[in-house]
Amino acid sequence: MRAYRIKTDQVISPFNEHPRDLLVLNEKIGDYQERLFKRLGIELVTVDDASKIENEERLNFFDHTYFTEGLARQFIEESRRSGRATACCLKKGTFTKRSVPGTMSVRDEQDSFRYQLHYYPAGARPEDPSSVLIDPDGTIAKIRFPKHMVEEVGYEVPLSTKRLIQIEHWCNLWACNVSGVLGVAQELLESPKSKLLGMALRARSTNKWSVSSKNVKIGEGCDIHPKAYLENAIIGDGVEVGAGSVVRGAVIGDETVIADSVNINYSVIGDHCNIREGTCMQFTVIYPGSFSSCRFMNVSFVGRNCFVGDGVVLTDFRFDGETLKVMHKGKKVDTGSIFLGPCIGHGTYIGSGVVVGPAREVRGGVRVVIGNDRLLLSDRMEGDFRIIEPGESYRKSRGID
């Protein structure tokens, strides 16, 4: 059996790169696909177009497609059992909703979405494939919010080991990364009882948080402060984690610095990043070489070699109760989500005081600063500034009786 990877000219804004060269869990998607099929024992063949594909038992997919080993194995097994040409379909649910299907070239089939991942037995005719339905929703976690913000009992987050996403927009790329770190927690839940028992013995507790603290992989040459707390995390080589920092459900790249009192939840941080004191981030992706002292980052995406300064505000929520929209192929597309932060292109610097709207793109290679009327540039206090002289009341300085 072979797997045929069909080339595309897909480019993801604002990174202006093909998906195969972009990172999921700090690995290029093209490299991940090659590693996946080696594990599956299937030869991977890259072709320019479908006309180059041999009529043999095979998988066909486009090179911007990301899927996990768990999904691939189930799809192949059920397809072989059917003996027919098949297409992979995902049952509609929390996972499909959070991966923003409106930005993907998938077919809506009422209760499911049909993706461009196909199986053909040897000698199969190029007919319309039948569907193999897979339910990607493993465990559904719920994050509590006040009811005036979220009408549901809780904001649902999927933990899945059977993931399939066509990367045609930065939202899809963000979803690949965040669902990947959430999948680490699901893998723990699906672990054999013997493994869980061993972790409980090491933790000397059956408390789920104590057990999760033993589900940590730490690379070589790391400097982890004894007062730092790690849980369900993958830590690269040469990483520094400071006192009082919490790294939960996260992937941290090589040579990255996590300063004191940083809180990182279910996020992916690339190689050679620097995250400064007091930063809190969740469901966020930061590509290699970036620096951040931004105090709160939620459901956001930061490209390579970026600078996000202290006092920057990355908003992620609309006040009018509407779901957030993104631009895709010149049109607004509904993400179906009430929470989504901005995406910042490679090499962009954002200075203190800048507020970036939710679900917005910031193009790469620019420097974004606030206007001079909000900057104190001289002692003349021009713009919106006021001087209160010694002994003068604030009310008088503002002309208030």
pLDDT digits (tens, 9 = 90+) for 231-287: 999 999 999 999 999 999 999 999 999 999 999 999 999 999 999 999 999 999 999
Residue 198 lies in a domain: no
Does the pLDDT of residue 11 top 80, yes or no? Answer: yes
Does the pLDDT of residue 25 top 70, yes or no? Answer: yes
Does the pLDDT of residue 306 top 90, yes or no? Answer: yes
Does the pLDDT of residue 99 top 80, yes or no? Answer: yes
Token pair in block for residue 48: 């320019």
Q: Could you give the number of structural domains in the chain?
A: 2
Residue 124 lies in a domain: yes
Same domain membership, residue 174 and residue 246: no
pLDDT band for 317, please (50, 70, 90 cuts). very high
pLDDT band for 159, please (50, 70, 90 cuts). very high
Residue 197 lies in a domain: no
State pLDDT tens for residues 382-401. Answer: 555 555 667 665 455 556 55
Its domain, for residue 279, covers 216-373
Cα(7)–Cα(30) distance, rounded to whole angstroms?
A: 11
Cα(21)–Cα(28) distance, rounded to whole angstroms?
A: 5
Query: What is this structure's pTM?
Result: 0.91
Same domain membership, residue 136 and residue 69: yes
Cα(5)–Cα(3) distance, rounded to whole angstroms?
A: 6
At 180, which helix (H) or strand (E)? Answer: helix 170-189
SS3 190: coil
Residue 201 lies in a domain: no
Q: Which of 208-212, 295-299, 371-375 has the lowest mean pLDDT?
A: 371-375
Measured torsion, CA atoms of residues 288, 290, 295, 296, in degrees rounded to the nearest 10: -40
Same domain membership, residue 164 and residue 220: no
Same domain membership, residue 153 and residue 59: yes
Distances (CA, A) of 177 to 152, 240, 282, 284, 367: 25, 22, 12, 9, 26
CB of 223 closer than 8 Å to CB of 242: no
The fraction of the chain above a pLDDT of 70, given in percent, is 93
pLDDT band for 355, please (50, 70, 90 cuts). very high
Question: Which distant-in-sequence residues (6+ apart) come within 8 Å of 326 by Cβ?
Answer: 100, 103, 169, 171, 332, 333, 335, 340, 359, 361
Token pair in block for residue 399: 């002309």
The CATH number of residue 266's host domain is 2.160.10.10
Q: How high is the mean pLDDT of the chain?
A: 92
Residue 54 lies in a domain: yes
